[in-house]
């Protein structure tokens, strides 16, 4: 049955594959999607030239970018590097979106086998996890959040180490090490969140060791020692580069106040948002409950993922009395409940109204590395635990059906189970295929003109690559990184406001002036000379191209030359 995951994994970005995966992207290319295309491309570039995977100077000249402080996904970039070298980073991104769903589902199918013997139950667990509302939300542009296949394997490793203890300690400890290394190479944020969610379940299973023979505790010690020995160097190197490496981040990645609104509303666990195929006429209302808590924020429906739905809640209520005595059920349920509570943010709300209490998530906002955590992303771990509980429930329900002596009773139970399963699927069905569009890249960046550039050239573009608007970084990626880019989008390490940045950025605002303010012109020219800028390129993607052309003409002292669909200026040093 598991082979069915593969064709299903093409559904989210089916239109992209039909129209051309080397030049088409799901959900658009101006924001996070284009950013992640750049990350995949820059990792492949660093590997190809035998440069450090932790730091690059191809963007944000002259400072460069510490790649451990951003969502650079070095593991995914390395995995897809051969594809990037042949077909480009856009293809690699589209390929990895398919991998993220099918492998996540298969990983859960494997993990669920620890707790449920029936293949249908295991298949349902994989389907629920690999194609969950969380996945449906994050596939819109967060590859580092949709590549979640490590966490089911971590459950297997932890279960083997603390409970089953059949494998060799080297295998069990090695699996845990592999999970830690791979996940920190995909998303350190999610790895830290996972370790926090695992604290309570691990404490519970570890406490039970006192009632078991000493050999059980010795086995745990050997496994953990093996894991620590194998993981010490790679994890230590990554953490060193993160905390002390060249260009490392100082302070919080983002202010907690900027992401306070990205949380789940209690109602949104029960009723669908517009991410689901069937909104039943209430999806717009649910969107507003979840994201319009603060009118100053633009709704971001793709940071959701906690919708469970009434049919699945009914199923859980029906099977709960039959499976609750199983120790693993209440341990997994406790882990899922912790994740659910954290996803409510620092001040839980219901139907858009704050409940006037502080949630446990509040504790994180005063802790290093967690102060800018996004509450809604914790729903991933709710689905991780919930999928296994559902597998146990289906396993028990099917066993009950088979054990029915009366054929009529057996038929009635089986029919009821099938009807409920159909209702669950319809309620959770994602709104796929997702919309897509051609990559937003000026023709110039893939022309002979651009190919003449070298890494000695530093290019200043309009619009600027800056936090929240990384479009120019994708242009660099699809050009093959044959030039370096002034400025960049990489959190606090690229947030400094400089004269040249302020001068050019005024043309990228929603109300950009046609006649720009050139007060900072001389300081900006001096700054660009210090950076070694050689080319100025104005594109039609600027909010006001006329404004940008005036600024660049003033900076270069010439009117520039039209080439393809851009205007180019040579900047004299």
Q: Are 175 and 61 in contact (CB under 8 A)?
A: no
pLDDT, position 573: 67
CA distance 431 to 541: 29
The pLDDT tens digits for 510-558 are: 888 889 999 999 999 999 999 999 999 999 999 999 999 999 999 999 9
How much is the average pLDDT of 490-518? 89
Q: The tokens of 360 are what?
A: 């446990």
10 Å CB burial of residue 252 (0-12, 13-18, 19+) is middle
CA distance 422 to 389: 18
CA distances from 56 to 145, 239, 544 (A): 23, 17, 31
Instruction: Report residue 293's pLDDT band, with 50, 70 and 90 as the boundaries.
Output: very low
Quickly list DSSP for 425-492.
HHHH-B--SPPEEE----GGGGSHHHHT--TT-EEEEES--BTTB-HHHHHHHHTTS-SEEES--BTB
Pairing of strands 458-462, 349-350: unpaired
**Dihedral angle sign, alpha carbons of residues 307, 31, 257, 288:** negative
pLDDT, position 416: 85
Q: Are 5 and 41 in contact (CB under 8 A)?
A: no
pLDDT, position 297: 47
Q: The tokens of 219 are what?
A: 């086995």
Backbone angles phi, psi at 99, to 5 degrees: -60, -40
pTM: 0.94
How much is the average pLDDT of 89-101? 95
How much is the average pLDDT of 20-43? 85
DSSP H or E segment with residue 24: strand 24-26
Q: Are 258 and 272 in contact (CB under 8 A)?
A: no
Q: Is the pLDDT of residue 208 over 90?
A: no
Residue found by looking up tokens 């050139």 in the block:
518
Chain center to CA of 479? 25
How much is the average pLDDT of 190-209? 89
CA distance 568 to 259: 38
By C-alpha distance, which of 320, 301, 366 is closest to 139?
A: 301
Q: Is the pLDDT of residue 166 over 60?
A: yes
CA angle centred on 195, ends 122 and 490, rounded to 5°: 105
> If you ran DSSP here, which 8-state letter would residue 53 be given?
S
Residue found by looking up tokens 């052309």 in the block:
549
By C-alpha distance, which of 221, 132, 196 is closest to 424?
A: 132
Q: Is the pLDDT of residue 296 over 60?
A: no
Backbone angles phi, psi at 61, to 5 degrees: -60, 135
Instruction: Report residue 356's pLDDT band, with 50, 70 and 90 as the boundaries.
Output: confident
List the beta bridge partners of residue 55: 66
Average pLDDT of the residues of the chain? 90
By C-alpha distance, which of 527, 545, 544 is closest to 555?
A: 527
CA distance 204 to 531: 56
Quickly list DSSP for 183-243.
HHTT-HHHHHHHHHHHHHHHHHHHHGGGGS-HHHHHHHHHHHHHHHHHHHHHHHHHHHHHH
CA distance 322 to 508: 60
Q: Is the pLDDT of residue 294 over 50?
A: no
Q: Is the pLDDT of residue 30 over 70?
A: no
Q: The tokens of 73 are what?
A: 């996904």
By C-alpha distance, which of 225, 238, 314 is closest to 270?
A: 314
Q: Are 367 and 337 in contact (CB under 8 A)?
A: no
CA distance 268 to 287: 8
Instruction: Kindly state the percentage of the chain with pLDDT values over 70.
Output: 96
The pLDDT tens digits for 231-285 are: 999 999 999 999 898 888 777 677 777 777 788 999 999 999 888 999 888 888 8
10 Å CB burial of residue 298 (0-12, 13-18, 19+) is exposed
Quickly list DSSP for 74-142.
HHHHHHTHHHHHHH-HHHHHHHHHHHHHHHHHHHHHHHHTTT---HHHHHHHHHHHHTSHHHHHHTTT-
Q: Are 560 and 569 in contact (CB under 8 A)?
A: yes
């Amino acid at each position: 049955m598991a082979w069915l995951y593969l064709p299903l994994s093409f559904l989210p970005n089916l239109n992209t594959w039909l129209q051309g995966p080397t030049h088409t992207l799901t959900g658009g290319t101006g924001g996070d999607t284009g950013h992640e295309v750049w990350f995949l491309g820059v990792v492949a570039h660093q590997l190809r030239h035998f440069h450090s995977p932790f730091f690059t100077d191809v963007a944000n000249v002259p400072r460069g970018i510490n790649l451990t402080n951003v969502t650079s996904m070095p593991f995914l970039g390395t995995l897809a590097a051969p594809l990037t070298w042949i077909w480009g980073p856009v293809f690699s991104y589209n390929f990895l979106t398919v991998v993220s769903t099918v492998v996540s589902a298969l990983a859960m199918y494997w993990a669920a086998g620890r707790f449920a013997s029936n293949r249908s139950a295991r298949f349902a667990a994989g389907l629920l996890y690999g194609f969950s509302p969380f996945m449906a939300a994050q596939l819109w542009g967060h590859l580092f959040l949709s590549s979640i296949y490590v966490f089911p394997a971590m459950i297997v490793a932890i279960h083997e180490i603390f409970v089953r203890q059949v494998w060799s300690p080297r295998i069990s400890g090695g699996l845990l090490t592999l999970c830690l290394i791979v996940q920190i190479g995909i998303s350190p944020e999610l790895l830290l969140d996972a370790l926090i969610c695992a604290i309570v379940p691990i404490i519970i299973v570890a406490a039970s060791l006192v009632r078991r023979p000493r050999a059980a505790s010795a086995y745990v010690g050997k496994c953990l020692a093996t894991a620590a020995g194998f993981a010490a160097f790679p994890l230590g190197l990554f953490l060193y580069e993160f905390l002390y490496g060249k260009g490392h981040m100082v302070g919080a990645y983002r202010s907690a106040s900027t992401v306070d609104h990205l949380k789940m509303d209690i109602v949104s666990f029960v009723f669908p948002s517009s991410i689901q195929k069937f909104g039943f006429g209430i999806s717009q209302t649910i969107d507003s409950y979840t994201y319009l808590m603060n009118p100053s924020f633009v709704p971001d429906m793709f940071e959701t993922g906690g919708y469970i739905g009434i049919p699945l809640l009914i199923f859980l209520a029906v099977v709960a009395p039959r499976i609750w005595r199983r120790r693993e059920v209440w341990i997994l349920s406790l882990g899922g409940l912790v994740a659910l509570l954290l996803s409510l943010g620092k001040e839980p709300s219901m139907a858009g109204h704050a409940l006037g209490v502080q949630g446990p998530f509040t504790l994180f906002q005063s802790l290093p590395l967690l102060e800018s955590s996004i509450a809604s992303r914790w729903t991933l771990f709710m689905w991780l635990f919930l999928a296994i509980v559902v597998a146990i429930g289906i396993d028990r329900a099917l066993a009950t059906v088979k054990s029915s002596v009366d054929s009529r009773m057996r038929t009635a139970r089986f029919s009821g189970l099938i009807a409920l399963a159909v209702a669950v699927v319809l309620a959770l069905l994602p709104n796929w295929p997702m919309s897509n569009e051609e990559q937003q890249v000026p023709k110039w960046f893939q022309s002979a003109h651009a190919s003449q550039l070298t890494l000695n050239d530093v290019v200043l573009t309009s619009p600027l690559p800056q936090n929240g608007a990384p479009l120019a970084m994708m242009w660099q990626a699809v050009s093959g990184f044959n030039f370096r880019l002034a400025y960049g989008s990489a959190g606090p390490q690229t947030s400094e406001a400089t004269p040249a940045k302020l001068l050019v950025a005024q043309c990228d605002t929603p109300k950009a002036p046609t006649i720009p303010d050139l007060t900072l012109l001389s300081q900006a020219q001096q700054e660009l000379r210090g950076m070694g800028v050689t080319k100025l390129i104005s594109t039609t993607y600027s909010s006001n191209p006329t404004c940008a052309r005036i600024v660049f003409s003033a900076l270069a002292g010439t009117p520039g030359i039209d080439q393809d669909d851009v205007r180019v200026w040579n900047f004299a040093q």
